[in-house]
Structure 1
Amino acid sequence: MRIVAIIQARMGSTRLPGKVMKTLGDRTVLGHVIMRCQAIESVTHVIVATSTLGEDDAICIEAEKYGVSHYRGSQRNVLDRYYYAAKEMEADLILRITSDCPLLDPLISEAVIQDFLAEICDYSSSGLSNTFPRGLDTEIFTFAALEKSHREATVEYEREHVTPYIYQHPEIFTFRTYSNQKDESRFRLTLDTPQDWELIRKIYEVLYKGEIFYWEDVYRVLQENPEWPLINAEVQQKKLGE
């Protein structure tokens, strides 16, 4: 079974332009995300899906640096981009990863995959449970579900955010929710603002020694430095359609 991690990436972030090419230690944010996806045991292929805009040439060059494929498609219609990237890779299952998650934990992502494989449905997510920190999100779905979404989704945010058409239509799709043992959603570990960057940079300065570290390591550091999570505690996540 081909389980393909598709990393969506672009240079044109509105709140922190060029964020995926900012440097943490010896590699870019995108480089860390690629490396972490490659460390997910069940993932057979990794591909970066970006736009055809000239500014995103840098994304393609970075993907090639790590020996992974890239697909270029619509800037706004990310669902379209995902569909053709998955089709090109002949994916059976797709893992959706965003490039603004340099703290993605390969062990948690693997657990989501294994939970999904234990009782295959159309879609599963660690994000819908609201028990993990934002930034550790992993979604997995079948190519058939992606194809149906690509064919039928019409609302703009459904095509910009890839999976809402699936998880907002339980009458059409079957799905599971992967939950953490305790609620740790108070932590924000995604990269979208200067405040997020300040926190993630601090975490990397302490933990990164050239190898992947995990959520349990991050959690320990945040417990030792309780003022750190306050850096981006007031940041509001954009809602669908914004």
Structure 2
Amino acid sequence: MKIVATIEARMGSTRLPGKVLLPALGRPMLAHLVRRLKAVSSIDEIVLATSTLEADDVLADFAKKYGIAVFRGSEEDVMGRVLGAAESVGGDIVVEITGDCPVIDPDLVEQTIRVFLRNNAAYAANSYISSYPDGMDTQVFTVDALRMSASMTDDPLDREHVSRHMVNNPDLFKHAYLIAPPSLHWPGLGLTLDEPADYQLLTKLIEHLGKDDPLFGCGAIIDTLKNNPEWLGINDDISRTNVRPQ
């Protein structure tokens, strides 16, 4: 069973254009994410799933430079794009990651994969039940499940939010969920790259922790923010639009 991590990324962003290639500690934010996914032992291949828009040509160049595969598909049909990305490299299992999670914890990604495999699930996530900081989000599902889901829905929201249909139909797709232990429980903490203030906070964390350990984990981030509570004010007032299917 080939396990493939797909990274959804585009250059277009109304709030922070070109955000995935903004620099931190001498590397693009997206490069920090790729390095972290390469450290996940269960992942066999990484595919950057971007659009066919000319503006995203630079992301295809990025993929080549950093030694990962690239698949280009619809800007709006993200479900179809992720499915195409996984199929393009012969994947059996998808580890779905969004490009705005540059400090995702490799251990949490690995743990989600193991829970998925151990429970013989069609879908597993550490994000459905809100407990980890926003930015640690990992979803795992079989390519067969995604293919089946894609064949069953044309709802624009389902096509935009890759797993929405699977999540809303647990009778068709067996689920498994991870919940954060007390030491990592901080669902209100925003560690995704959405706004200029997020970029400021994430850059501070990467520069502070990344020099000694480029793969610093969620626990190190939480400890750092507890020791530097003034940093929390940097992006504390951002309203997070976290779409949770009902």
State the TM-score, normalizing by the size of structure 2. 0.95
Question: 1:146-185, aligned counterparts within 5 Å?
Answer: 146-182=146-182, 183-185=185-187
Matching residue's letter, 1:154? D
Partner of 1:230: 233
Structure 1 Cα separation of the partners of residues 92 and 209 of structure 2: 35
Contact 1:116/1:124 (8 A) holds in 2: yes
Partner of 1:26: 26
Structure 1 Cα separation of the partners of residues 155 and 238 of structure 2: 26
Matching residue's letter, 1:192? D
| Alignment deviations for residues 16-59 of structure 1 (CA, whole Å, 9 cap, x no partner) | 11000100112101111111111111000101000000110111
The reply to whether residue 142 of structure 1 matches residue 166 of structure 2 is: no
SS for the counterpart of 1:81 is: helix
Matching residue's letter, 1:45? E
Contact 1:8/1:98 (8 A) holds in 2: yes
Partner of 2:223: 220
Aligned-residue identity in percent: 37
C-alpha deviation, 1:239, in angstroms: 4.7
Partner of 2:191: 189
C-alpha deviation, 1:154, in angstroms: 1.5
SS for the counterpart of 1:165 is: helix
Partner of 2:131: 131
Worse overlay, 82-91 or 129-138 = 82-91
SS for the counterpart of 2:229 is: coil
Q: Which runs of 5+ in 2 are unaligned?
A: none
State the TM-score, normalizing by the size of structure 1. 0.96
C-alpha deviation, 1:77, in angstroms: 0.6
Matching residue's letter, 2:221? V
The reply to whether residue 205 of structure 1 matches residue 236 of structure 2 is: no
Structure 1 outlier segments of 4+, above 6 Å: none
Count of residue correspondences: 241
Matching residue's letter, 2:235? N
Aligned-pair Cα RMSD in Å: 1.3
SS for the counterpart of 1:176 is: strand
SS for the counterpart of 1:131 is: coil
